[in-house]
């Protein structure tokens, strides 16, 4: 361990020179999105969100990749899940507030349309509710705990994963970040 | 890598567990370091606890204030859930301020207290790296090395593990520097900062989703370099001149 002033000064100059050179060497190229663009689909931040197609409560088909061009918030939930039920009003409010800017969808995990439809009517849910009856999409997204929410940007890249109950402020904050990017 | 840990029917977020363990280790490190440096152990532990508690509460309240329109409709949301919704700048500012004023109130010597808290700070930073590795958004550049990790079919630098290694090096540096007489208070803190900052300067280059400037420079590298240079300047200024220099 250096003890004299001169040694520390030498170290300072060395770090200044080498550190600056390393920072210049580490500089990212202009097309820094090339990393994310070339990455495979994976249920992780920075990766393309795995594509899926499901049927919604009103019989329409929802395909994730068709939403490219605007951010998407994918919330995995179920009617038997208390925190899922608690946060549904937040998603409903957000779907109204950000209508046309962000697509908010609630993927029901492991239940039937007959089970979900009455619940959706009772809760006044108007945003799309694709039903993942056999939990195939949930498995692809490695959803081990409900609720789980995936925030996907307009290029289809997952920017944030939130596991557990989400409150309105955090939901809106994350949506605002998606819109800002 | 491992966002949740399943124990029977329980699904536990791994990051939360890591943070709880990391905070406990950091506070323990503060106690042990204060004892070895012959400082007031209880007061030093109090500085650490005050810094963490003040920072946590301030970060939460600042976020609530910034999103009051949402919280005023659901006041219970201020206290639950706690898994997200924090303002990092507010947490850092008020946490450091809280610890500083607590230390002053206990009349702790500032520089020597920093010496004692350096292992705690490093431990907390290592905790963040580990939580990021297990459940966070960070990942390294593509690399086909013997120690690369496989993330969804792509081999990458285990950049958070590099950061953990840097933390261990900094702790080792603190330990080795402590064994010799200290020519001035604050030396251990500056040595630790120099080592850890240098490792982050190097390792952040291997992070694929680094915090970048508009020109593509790694901002954390720049901050690390500045911290290291400042520490080296202070070490040079405060170190006694050698006999030859005299």
- Under 8 Å CB-to-CB from B170, ≥6 apart: which residues? B122, B192, B195, B196, B199
Would the CB atoms of B221 and A8 count as touching at under 8 Å? no
- In this predicted structure, the answer to whether residue B244 has a pLDDT above a threshold of 70 is no
Sign of the Cα torsion B70, A82, A79, A159 reads positive
Which residues of chain B neighbour A12 with C-beta distances below 8 Å? Answer: 229, 232-233, 236
Residue A160: how many other CB atoms lie within 10 Å: 17
Banded pLDDT at B16 (limits 50, 70, 90)? confident
CATH class held by domain A32-180: alpha beta
Q: What is the biggest distance separating any 2 CA atoms in chain A, rounded to whole angstroms?
A: 79
Provide the ipTM: 0.86
Would the CB atoms of A5 and B139 count as touching at under 8 Å? no
- In this predicted structure, the answer to whether residue A14 has a pLDDT above a threshold of 80 is yes
- Under 8 Å CB-to-CB from B215, ≥6 apart: which residues? A27
- In this predicted structure, the answer to whether residue B127 has a pLDDT above a threshold of 70 is yes
* In contact, B129 and B164? CB cutoff 8 Å: yes
What is the C-alpha separation between A179 and A167, in angstroms, rounded? 19
3-class secondary structure, A3: coil
Q: Which of B203, B135, B137 is nearest to B169 (CA)?
A: B203
Domain boundary assignment for chain A: 32-180
- In this predicted structure, the answer to whether residue B178 has a pLDDT above a threshold of 50 is yes
Look at residue A47 in the predicted model and tell me its pLDDT: 87
Chain B within 8 Å of A47 (Cβ-Cβ)?
Answer: yes
Write phi, then psi, for B226 (nearest 5 degrees).
-65, -40
* In contact, A101 and A70? CB cutoff 8 Å: yes
- In this predicted structure, the answer to whether residue A37 has a pLDDT above a threshold of 70 is no
Would the CB atoms of A22 and B201 count as touching at under 8 Å? yes
Tell me the pLDDT tens digit for each residue of B63-122.
Answer: 999 988 888 877 888 888 787 889 999 999 999 999 999 999 999 999 999 999 999 999
Nearest-neighbour CA in chain B from A176: distance (Å): 12
Tell me the pLDDT tens digit for each residue of B85-97.
Answer: 899 999 999 999 9
Residue A111: how many other CB atoms lie within 10 Å: 17
Structure tokens at B171: 């702790």
Sign of the Cα torsion B77, B82, B86, B90 reads positive
What is the C-alpha separation between B96 and B121, in angstroms, rounded? 12
Average pLDDT across chain B, whole number: 91
Q: Which of B66, B166, B70, A166 is nearest to B174 (CA)?
A: B166
Would the CB atoms of B225 and A19 count as touching at under 8 Å? yes
Look at residue B242 in the predicted model and tell me its pLDDT: 64
Structure tokens at B163: 């950061």
- In this predicted structure, the answer to whether residue A27 has a pLDDT above a threshold of 60 is yes
- In this predicted structure, the answer to whether residue B207 has a pLDDT above a threshold of 60 is yes
What is the C-alpha separation between A41 and A47, in angstroms, rounded? 6
Which residues of chain B neighbour A91 with C-beta distances below 8 Å? Answer: none
Tell me the pLDDT tens digit for each residue of A51-102.
Answer: 999 999 989 999 999 999 999 999 999 999 999 999 999 999 999 999 999 9
Look at residue A31 in the predicted model and tell me its pLDDT: 57
Look at residue B246 in the predicted model and tell me its pLDDT: 52
Banded pLDDT at B245 (limits 50, 70, 90)? low
Banded pLDDT at B14 (limits 50, 70, 90)? confident
- In this predicted structure, the answer to whether residue A4 has a pLDDT above a threshold of 90 is no
Q: Which of residues 157-216 of B touch A (CB under 8 A)?
A: 176-177, 180, 183, 191, 198, 201-202, 204-205, 208-210, 212, 215-216
- In this predicted structure, the answer to whether residue B187 has a pLDDT above a threshold of 70 is yes
């Amino acid at each position: 361990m250096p003890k004299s002033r001169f040694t520390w000064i030498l170290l300072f100059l060395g770090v200044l020179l080498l550190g600056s050179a390393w920072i210049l060497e580490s500089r990212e190229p202009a097309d820094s999105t090339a990393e994310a663009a070339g990455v495979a689909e994976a249920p992780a931040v920075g990766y393309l969100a795995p594509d899926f197609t499901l049927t919604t409560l009103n019989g329409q088909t929802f395909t994730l990749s068709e939403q490219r061009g605007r951010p998407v918030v994918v919330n995995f939930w179920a009617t038997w899940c208390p925190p899922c039920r608690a946060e549904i009003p937040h998603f409903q409010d957000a779907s109204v507030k950000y209508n046309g800017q962000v697509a908010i969808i609630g993927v029901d995990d492991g239940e039937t349309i007959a089970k979900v439809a009455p619940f959706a009517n009772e809760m006044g849910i108007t945003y799309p509710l694709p039903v993942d009856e056999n939990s195939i999409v949930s498995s692809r997204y490695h959803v081990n705990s409900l609720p789980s929410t995936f925030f996907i940007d307009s290029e289809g890249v997952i920017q944030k994963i939130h596991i557990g109950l989400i409150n309105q402020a955090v939901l809106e904050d994350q949506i605002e970040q998606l819109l800002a990017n | 890598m491992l966002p949740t840990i399943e124990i029977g029917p329980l699904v536990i977020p791994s990051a939360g567990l890591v943070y709880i363990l990391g905070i406990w280790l950091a506070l323990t490190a503060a106690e042990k370091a204060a004892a070895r440096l012959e400082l007031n152990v209880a007061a030093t532990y109090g500085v650490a606890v005050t810094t963490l508690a003040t920072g946590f509460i301030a970060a939460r309240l600042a976020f609530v204030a910034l999103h009051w329109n949402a919280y005023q409709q659901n006041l219970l949301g201020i206290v639950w859930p706690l898994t997200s919704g924090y303002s990092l700048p507010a947490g850092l500012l008020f946490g450091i301020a809280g610890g500083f004023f607590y230390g002053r109130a206990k009349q702790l010597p500032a520089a020597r207290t920093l010496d004692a808290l350096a292992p705690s700070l490093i431990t907390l930073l290592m905790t963040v790296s580990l939580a990021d590795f297990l459940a966070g958004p960070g990942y390294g550049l593509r690399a086909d090395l013997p120690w690369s990790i496989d993330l969804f079919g792509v081999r990458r630098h285990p950049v958070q593990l590099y950061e953990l290694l840097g933390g261990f090096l900094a702790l080792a540096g603190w330990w080795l520097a402590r064994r010799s007489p200290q020519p001035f208070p604050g030396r251990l803190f500056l040595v630790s900062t120099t080592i850890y900052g240098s490792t982050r300067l190097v390792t952040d280059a291997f992070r694929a989703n680094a915090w970048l400037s508009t020109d593509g420079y790694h901002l954390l590298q720049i901050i690390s370099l500045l911290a290291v240079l400042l520490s080296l300047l202070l070490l040079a200024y405060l170190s006694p001149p050698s006999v030859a220099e005299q």
